[in-house]
Structure 1
Amino acid sequence: MKSVGADPEAPNMQKAREWVISKGGIEASQTMTKFKLAIFWTLPMDTDLVHSFDD
């Protein structure tokens, strides 16, 4: 939603953020999700979270 211009401080975005965090955040997401976030410049490619599947 943020990538299409939604205000990150809007109530619906805050609720979405809280839900993601309650489910374990990006650390608990699948590798493809991390890759897509990196592709859309939401998560740096060099972060350990993207490369965590190598462990």
Structure 2
Amino acid sequence: MGEIVNLNRARKARDKAAAKTDAANNRAAHGRTKVEKTHAEAEKARLDALLDGAKREDD
């Protein structure tokens, strides 16, 4: 026979794990200094420009 699972506890545990991952992502995104944010934006702009420069144009 299978294991008996309390669905309320399973749902709450799933939601709690999702909240922890969301909190970790928010800490990583919003817990940076202004210098780090501007550096990341500049790096993203550089990579976007590099990608746009490598596009092939069709006739």
TM-score, scaled to structure 2: 0.28
Which of structures 1 and 2 has the bigger CA Rg?
2
Give the number of the structure with larger relative contact order, counting CA–CA contacts within 8 Å between residues 6 or more apart.
1
TM-score, scaled to structure 1: 0.29
